[in-house]
Amino acid sequence: MESLHLLNTVSQKRAAQQLSELIQNKRFTAWFQPIIDFSAPDRIHYEALIRAPKDSIFSSPSDLFKAASLFDCVEQLERVCLEISCRSFIEHKLAGKLFVNISPLTLINSNSEQATVQVILDQFALRSDRVVIELSEKYPLEDYAIVHAAMKYYRDSGFKIAIDDLGSGYSGLRVWSELKPDYVKIDQYFTRDIHQDPVKREFVRSINEISRSLDCHVIAEGIETKEELSVIKTIGISHGQGFLLGKPSILPLRQAPAIAHANRHKIEAPRLDPDELLASVLIRRPALPHDARLGEAADLFFQDKQLRAIPVVRQQVPVGMLIRNQVLELFLEQYGRCFDANDSVSLHMDQAAVIVEKASMQIAINKFLVSADDACDEFIITEQGQYIGIGQTKKFFDQLNEQQMQAARYSNPLTMLPGNVPIYEWINELLLAKVNFHVAYFDLNYFKPYNDKYGYSRGDQLIAWLGQLITTHTGNSNDRVGHIGGDDFVVIFQTDDWQIKCELILKVFEEQIHAYFDQEDIDAQGIYSLDRSLNKQFFPLLSLAIGVVNPDPYRCDSHHDVSQIASDAKHEAKQIGGNALYVSRRRSPDKASYSRINS
């Protein structure tokens, strides 16, 4: 459809008449696209998407809503769309939740007009707790207080709230923070080719970690390839939506595709070192006090042609940034120096400058990617809130990519979990810092006989699943998972609930391991295979042994000492037999005592 603003008066009048007729006669159709819950793929939610009749001039939904905006009938259109979506949802007898797109303006007005949304739901006996109001980005509203009040009204009425396209437009971290939604959708830009982009992976990972702390579900939009799905699932995103999982259809998908059920090994991109990353881009540069004169800043810019920005501080706390082009434009104009030279720099600084705490690298990535302001390619770095220097955005991301590629070189190729080198580095770092930590060594019992009977392909699938299982249940930024090789895994715990996590892993392992055996072997509770002497022997079903140690950082000199006591603990766990957790009291290679916990 030709741009509505370019249509002549007659054509616009015809478009307005057709739109009015469509709304009045409710001549729209609801299509549904599935939203898959990865924790239970058979649990499907649906986003309602409205389509105009084929014989109308509104060939796409975007044309339809652009016309509604132009002709000032967005609220009427959205109410009709909501009614049609609810009716169709009930007629199809769909399970799960219904996601409906509504603009802030409609929500606010429906709140004041006797809760039109609730009236529509009551018309179809649709409970409010089955409806998710997806805050549409088509019509941004800057008055957050009004939107917040409307959201509170609907949440108190039982509705769930979602914000759309996190990372684009106004649906940024501020909206997330203020509205506290139940669901947040990551813009498809960050999903596209995420398997090839370490920066996107780090952004999505950090968003997922924030969501956990806020008890919020994350939905990754635009999943179109198996590789994208694999990374999204292994990062731990709870929900997904996209053509790979199901296209919008007038006949809703009732069963999740097989790929949604598939176990994917954990691709745990190694954690980045925030101190190393930000320190590498830190440039020590003097700042101007907030009450300095603009003329002083202009002189600095004129003297140094390479100077792009000057931080502004109040008692060493950054409050903004002076941008070179913006300041010099004032002084290059006629009378500029006369009128502006004596102004305080605080009147002309950019108050939205990106400020990053030295140890908060993930927050830095969020700010860079969510911020729409690219007026300056420099950002302010602080340490405990105090200004210490500036950094350059391009150099920051160059270093970020370099760290990711360096870490990938030491990852296990099967699970993409960090291998021996990063594990040793982590342990040495903790020993040097003299902090308390636990090391859990995971090993399968009777894996060789399993591999001999079922083959290496199924053995690899089992290893990938075990890596995913361990990582899923140790999901904390302070716990690090590594894959030494074969069926051996290591978790470095800095959290206090390490024993609960290990026991949960044993429980889930015991519940799910049968899926990797043929029924006849399950019935026999074991398999026949050749032992190391090539004699046929009966071996029990696979079980998991976990040995845990709490190294003494004052008596363990390096990862070699920790490796020795962890290996001994793992050996003791295997001696117990079955699914077992062995907790050693041995804290260095020269002193032994222990306890054991059977599963």
Chunk the chain into consecutive blocks of 10 residues (it has 599) and report each block's average pLDDT, rounded to whole numbers.
51 86 92 90 89 86 85 88 93 93 75 63 88 75 70 86 67 68 90 86 81 84 90 83 94 86 44 60 88 91 89 93 88 63 88 76 55 63 87 75 63 80 88 87 94 88 92 79 92 90 95 92 90 82 96 88 95 95 90 46
**Domains, in order of start, for the chain:** 4-261 (3.20.20.450), 274-400 (3.10.580.10), 410-598 (3.30.70.270)
Task: State percent of the chain over pLDDT 70.
Answer: 82
**pTM of the shown model:** 0.49
Nearby residues of 328 by Cβ (< 8 Å), 6 or more positions away: 298, 301, 302
**584: β partners:** 594
Q: Which H or E run contains 493?
A: strand 488-493
What single letter denotes the amino acid at residue 423?
I
- Rounded CA separation 495/493 (Å): 5
- Rounded CA separation 538/528 (Å): 4
| Structure-token match 């003791």, residue found | 572
Q: 583 is written with which tokens?
A: 């907790």
- Rounded CA separation 577/544 (Å): 9
pLDDT value of residue 10? 54
pLDDT value of residue 113? 47
Instruction: Enter the DSSP assignment of 411.
Output: B
pLDDT value of residue 244? 93
